[in-house]
Structure 1
């Protein structure tokens, strides 16, 4: 399936994505829900980064299209599971038990996350848990882009 992102609100709203090795591939169809940055300790530890960029999509619009589906790990046993590729380890998704309406997808798992304006984060979750150095405005190491 080719990716079609409706920029003007008409037509299907379909995005594709997957892991680094390509074994886990997916499409999500439907509107973007709550694009946000999460700075909780679980996101930081799992990703090896100070935060992760999440986007919700309707669970009914999710289709696993690759050779494999994610391996799931309960980060909050009985509450939340995180999906990753069992071959390359790429983090891909999250789901909450008891909520079969929304799937959380890591924005960076989407093929065109860097050019899709609908994915711009609108919320910063768990700000109190953020690494204290994130608040520093230090430009000594900034590079021209």
Structure 2
């Protein structure tokens, strides 16, 4: 099977268009526009919600977001009541997005909910957030395993 090297497609306006979905495919979306602040978050909310020690977030212009699947928009849960809501699929439970109240300009999308997240160079994280909350053993993960001898 050939390696997938596709990234975002380009519209006639010159803006990048990316698509994505939840695991079951009922919540689908496209985002149009430039990538904003691709980062890895180590906060306790991201860890508890995802079952992972961190999550990889990417911002996009809110005006470029379209929910396209049969499931419509995700279900929203206030992880920080009155401040931040997280969107997830009510059928498969996949976390998909985050939005901050009072900020109608940017939507946070989990990079792994995007198609081609592994080959889209614009999504590479540029910083780590909430490092003080990170699992202490993560620092050990940058050490290569010993070679068999």
Q: Would you call these one fold, judging by a TM-score over 0.5? A: yes
Query: What is aligned with 1:85?
Result: 89
Equivalent residue, structure 1, for 2:133: 129
| 2:37 aligned partner | 34
Structure 1: give runs of 5+ residues left out of the alignment.
Answer: none
CA RMSD of aligned residues (A): 1.7
> Could you tell me whether the CA contact under 8 Å between 1:79 and 1:97 is conserved in 2?
yes
Matched, 1:139 2:144: yes
Given candidates 107, 115, 126, the residue that maps to 1:111 is 115
2:72 aligned with 1:71, yes or no?
no
Query: C-alpha deviations, 1:16-67, integer Å up to 9, x for none?
Result: 0000111000000000000000000000000000100000000000000001
The answer to whether the 8 Å contact 2:8/2:120 transfers is: no
Distance 1:122 1:4, change over 3 A: closer
Structure 2 stretches of 5 or more lacking a match? 1-6
1:24 aligns with 2:27: yes
State the distance in 2 between where 1:88 and 1:99 align.
28
